[in-house]
A and B are shown apart, each in its own frame.
Chain A
Amino acid sequence: MIEIDAGPLKTRELNDQLRDMMLAGIQKVVIRNVCGQRYIGTRLYSPDHRKMEIEIFGTPGNDLAAFLYGHRITVHGNAQDGVGNTMDQGEVVVEGRAGDVLGFSMRGGRIFVRDNCGYRTALHMKEYEDKLPVLVIGGTSQDFLGEYMAGGIVILLDLYGKGHKGNFMGTGMHGGAIYLRGVVEKEQVGSQVEISPLDKLDREILDRYVSEFVERFPDLCLSKEEILKDEFVKLAPKSKRPYSKIYAY
């Protein structure tokens, strides 16, 4: 394990160091005093698929884990906007809240956020064949959750009793599924989206990812069963081409 003091480092310097460490074969890095440095974990592609474990103390800047290629990042604190932007594979765990556009265009891997998240969560998240992004939020999200969502799985657990107050959920959604613990009004959801109860397959999906969530946040002292016994609803697109009648071709 190796430590970096990010205090004096600019975005590029920090990411250069991380890249050098990955190329040198280091597998675990702890970064302390992070304060707004962007794109942490981004330039860590290697043809031989090297994987690192990165622990962050402080507040990482925007686009944390953008294009993440199989690494595992833990943030001991809050994250800002754009976590997991176009993330490819790997895992991000945020022991706090996340900002806007969490999981934007995410196309693989997992993100677990302990608390709430901001606007436009999972905006245009997508899936393809064996690539299936999964995003689990302990709290809830603000407006435009799953806007233009094309694939993947989003789970909102509302563990802190706030209820789902977000509006315009799933506007333009044409793929994937959003699971909400609790209830949601029809008016909060885009017209392209169907609200339905869970079937057996949905239950299996929830079971798997809620267990993973609980494992990652032992401090919450919650069991999977406690969470899963409550009512959930599923949001899924009515059509795979919601705008087919609008476009001329």
Chain B
Amino acid sequence: MPRIRRELYNKEICACSIFGAMNRDGERFTGKGVMLAIANMHVRGNGLGGGFAAYGIYPEYKDYYAFHLMFTGNSPEAKRSAKVGFDAFLCENFDVVSDEEIPHSDEAVVSDPPLIWRYFVLPRKQGEEALLSDEDYIVKMVMRVNTEIENAHVFSSGKNMGCFKGVGYPEDIGEYFMLDKLYSAYTWTVHGRFPTNTQAWWGGAHPFSLLDTTVVHNGEISSYGTNRWYLEMYGYACTLQTDTEVIAYAADLLMRRQKIPIEIVAKILAPPIWNSIDRMDEKEKKLLTTLRMVYGSLLMNGPFAIIIGQTGKMIGLTDRIRLRPITAATRGEMFYLSSEEASIRLISPKLDSVRTPNGGEPVVCELNNIRTVLE
């Protein structure tokens, strides 16, 4: 009997794609290159999420916090109504120097975009809030908006930087926000695919951010529950329904509030396994054991490769046994991080160095002179 051809399973090759490019001299460039680079990893994505973080894009408003807001809802009226609610809150708690709808192109292939608005603001602290630093105040207000105002989500809240994200392939999201035409940044990070284990929605796309810290992530944080409960004790509310959010808040807690250097933060998020700690000298063993005891709840379990963006800095890190790939490369003053080397070569065919860092070992690129972007 002839064999009947069975229906072939159409395999989806998905895995997330992450990419980052930074100019160490602080020279700014458009999003065109990173859009090409991430599009080269199209097969790693699935069209259900894409997003960018860009640093140095608002020099004319560099002293103001740039809030990017998403107003979701089933109808234009619902979105407008969410904005009305947010605007009332904003006027009570901030001085707004400028605001506008974030320009977008209607030709891009994206589905069901929310109303997306940006505001440049200064904190207006009242009563006991005067005791808070500006940044702590911003964090508190962002958490309030995201937990209390229906259908309003702050997805970007730093100075002189911004996130752009949504449901679609990253190259389409880039086109939607016209990142290749309207913005120049000294650091771009970008992500393709969708929020782990949840429905794709605009707020759930990467990057996840708080103040000027942004995170794009390939992998899955299986310790999400533990991490989330720990972060809640410090006032961080996880509202975006997916795992990567905890990395952004952990980075804010450890690096901004507790001022811990990235080399130590890496040992908290991706500590060496006990077998390796046993073989270290006494001093190192004591440090690593202490970190694991004090910060056990911030250990990020599960596979990850992440790119953390901050003002003047871009950091790559993988889990301790590098279950997700990252390649670091340099060319002159340019520094690149990518899930795949080919994407870097696409926009910079010649490279001075290429390497794949060890698991748990952060690669850090800093501006040669931070003043180039602050002054």
Contacts and interface: CB of A to CB of B under 8 A. Distances in A.
A32 to B, nearest CB: 12
A212 B228 CA distance: 54
A182 interface: no
A62 B339 CA distance: 11
Given A11-B43, A35-B40, A142 B356 contact: yes
Contacts of B279: 187
Given A81-B325, A143-B321, A35 B342 contact: yes
A144 B325 contact: no
B343 A36 contact: yes
Interface string B306-341: 000000000000000110010100000000000011
Interface string B61-72: 000000000000
Nearest to B346: A35
Given A38-B13, A142-B358, A99 B325 contact: yes
Given A11-B43, A59-B345, A100 B325 contact: yes
Interface string A57-74: 011111000000000000
Given A11-B43, A36-B40, A142-B358, A99 B276 contact: no
Interface in A75-105: 78, 80-81, 97, 99-100
Interface residues of A, number: 23
A100 B325 CA distance: 8
B41 interface: yes
A59 B325 contact: no
A79 to B, nearest CB: 9
Interface of A is mostly: loop
B359 interface: yes
A60 B354 CA distance: 15
A99 B327 CA distance: 9
A64 to B, nearest CB: 11
Interface of B is mostly: loop
A192 interface: no
B74 to A, nearest CB: 37
A36 B276 contact: no
B329 to A, nearest CB: 10
A143 B358 contact: yes
Contact of B41 (A36, A59, A60, A144): A36
Contacts of B356: 99-100, 118-119, 142
Given A119-B322, A187-B279, A80 B342 contact: yes
A180 to B, nearest CB: 18
Nearest to B13: A38
A80 B339 CA distance: 10
Contact of B342 (A59, A119, A167): A59
A143 B41 CA distance: 26
Interface in B162-215: none
A124 B17 CA distance: 26
A11 B340 CA distance: 15
A80 B356 CA distance: 10
Contacts of A34: 342
Interface in A154-176: 167
Contacts of B40: 35-36
B375 to A, nearest CB: 39
A167 B276 CA distance: 9
The winner among B40, B43, B276 for most chain A CB atoms within 10 A is B43
Given A62-B340, A99-B356, A143-B322, A35 B327 contact: no
A167 B343 CA distance: 29
B322 A100 contact: yes
A97 B354 contact: yes
Contacts of A142: 322, 356, 358
Given A35-B40, A36-B41, A38-B43, A61 B340 contact: yes
Nearest to A117: B356
Contacts of B341: 59, 78, 80, 99
Nearest to A61: B342
Nearest to A142: B358
Given A100-B325, A119-B322, A187-B279, A80 B340 contact: yes
27 contacts: A35-B40, A35-B342, A35-B346, A36-B40, A36-B41, A36-B342, A36-B343, A38-B13, A38-B43, A58-B342, A61-B342, A80-B341, A81-B325, A99-B327, A99-B341, A99-B356, A100-B356, A118-B356, A119-B356, A119-B359, A142-B322, A142-B356, A142-B358, A143-B322, A143-B358, A143-B359, A187-B279
Given A35-B346, A38-B43, A119-B359, 19 more contacts: A11-B43, A35-B40, A35-B345, A36-B40, A36-B41, A36-B340, A60-B342, A61-B340, A62-B340, A78-B354, A80-B341, A80-B342, A118-B325, A119-B322, A142-B322, A143-B322, A143-B359, A144-B321, A167-B276
Interface of A: 11, 34-36, 38, 58-62, 78, 80-81, 97, 99-100, 118-119, 142-144, 167, 187
Of all A-B residue pairs in the complex, the 9 with the closest CB atoms, nearest first, are: A36-B342, A59-B342, A118-B356, A35-B342, A59-B345, A119-B322, A35-B346, A36-B40, A187-B279
